[in-house]
Structure 1
Amino acid sequence: MTNTMWMRGVEWLAAASADPRACKWEWDHGEGVALLEAGRFWDVLSVPDRLGLLTLDLLWRPGLPVPGPTLVDTAAGRVGFFLPPQPSDGWIGAGLRYATRGSWVTVPPPYRPARSLEWLVPPDGTGALHAPGALEEALQQANGTLAVLTPLCAPHR
């Protein structure tokens, strides 16, 4: 990612803050993270890390657009997919958490990790997000794969 893309990503992400300047200051001089409200520019679908990493792998294929911003929280064992705000919460499934208007998301700056948070796909500043249909399809495929693999990987007694 070029410096220009990072700068655009910083501006785009900070725009979700009530005070973008304070948000950027926190990233550079404060705790290194900012608390941003979901639901205005984006929502976040958070899934367990195994499911999320496999889903991202399925989305990252030749011929497909680069996936939207994706954040991993290694301490919580979760992957967050940034997608367009949706008026309904149609995301239902075991372990899924959907952050929309009224929810807050802790994010590091696009150019470096902070605490246990790291961008797997940082925002590039264009406003590109995950397409809900493609994300749902990849999640279903990943769920199916994990359902098959889990019994195979279980310890034998």
Structure 2
Amino acid sequence: MPHASAEEDRRQESARGAARITAAGADWLAAAGAGPRPQAERCPGAPAVLSCGRLFDVVSAPAVFGRLLLDRMWEEGPGSGPVAAHRGRMLVFTTPGTAARLPALLSWEEWGGFVPALMFHGRGDAVTVPPLAAPGGGDPGVAPRWLVAPGARHPWLPGPEVLLWACVRAVKAARAVAGAVRTGAPAGPYGPISPLPDPGANVYDVSRRR
């Protein structure tokens, strides 16, 4: 059976902050070579290990900065591909090659300490992702889960330039929050200052992605 086009697959993704993987999304993960579907059948609550570098790379960020990064991508940019939360970090799935290219792009910017240690997983690396059916209960800010679950056989993935742009925007947002805390100012360049985002909330509207 021929695969649907990438555009058709995108339209099949769930309408808001997809937290459950579709059958098409599971097929995409299984194609990474680590076999998450059989593992999920043996132990539905177990995380899966996936190989990077062929279908995707992964950029891993601490949860709070990762949330700022994703907020910028969704509020001002093209959105994101699949994103998982695991062990206090956000795993952003990107185009293959991003892990090799993005560190050099980031090195050209002056971050002033606002960009924490990012981790880049590319060819030869593997990542642990949440189970296909995330277990219920537990602390939503800690339990492994999908913030934007794979919902297509050909999910759209951001490349290194998109991640660089999002990091620049996230740093501006972080500086605005830090400045408001220091001065007591009610607003910054991104509008009213609110507390740092909850890294556990699902707020990404997949239907808005182009």
Shorter-chain TM range is: 0.7 to 0.9
Rg comparison, structure with higher value: 2
CA separation in 1, counterparts of 2:127 and 2:69? 21
Equivalent residue, structure 2, for 1:28: 41
Corresponding residue of 1:131: 159
Which of 51, 67, 71 aligns to 1:53? It is: 67
Q: CA deviation at 1:35?
A: 0.8
* Cα distance, 1:89–1:146 mapped onto 2, change above 3 Å: same
The yes-or-no answer on 1:146 pairing with 2:174 is yes
Question: Which consecutive aligned stretches of 4+ in structure 1 deviate over 6 angstroms post-superposition?
Answer: none
Given the superposition, is the C-alpha separation of residues 111 and 123 from structure 1 closer, same or farther in structure 2, using an over 3 Å criterion?
same
How far off its partner does 1:68 sit?
0.7
Aligned to 1:90: 102
* Cα distance between partner residues in 1 of 2:145 and 2:130: 7
Q: Give CA-to-partner distance per residue, 1:119-147, whole Å, 9 cap, x none.
A: 11111222321233222211111122213
Query: Following superposition of structure 1 onto structure 2, how do residues 64-75 of structure 1 map, counting pairs within 5 Å?
Result: 65-73=78-86
Unaligned runs of 5+ in 1: none
Tell me the SS of whatever aligns to 1:90. helix
Q: Supply the distance in 2 between the matched residues of 1:139 and 1:111 (Cα, whole angstroms).
A: 30
1:45/1:97 contact within 8 Å kept: yes
Q: Which residue of 2 aligns with 1:12?
A: 28
- Decide whether the 8 Å contact of 1:10 with 1:109 is kept in 2: no
Q: Share of identical aligned residues, percent?
A: 31
State the SS of the aligned residue for 2:161.
helix
Instruction: Specify every segment of 5 or more residues in structure 2 that has no aligned partner in the other structure, as ranges.
Output: 1-13, 16-20, 107-114, 137-141, 183-210
SS of 1:41's equivalent?
coil
Matched, 1:39 2:67: no
Tell me the equivalent position of 1:117: 144
SS at match of 1:119: strand
Q: Is the 8 A contact 1:9 1:124 kept in 2?
A: yes
CA distance in 2, matches of 1:60, 1:148: 18
Number of residue-to-residue matches in the alignment: 147
RMSD value, Cα = 2.8
Does the aligned pair in 1 maintain the 2:50–2:128 contact within 8 Å? yes
Give the SS at the match of 2:75: coil
User: In 2, distance between residues paired with 1:70 and 1:150?
Assistant: 26
Q: Is the 8 A contact 1:6 1:111 kept in 2?
A: no
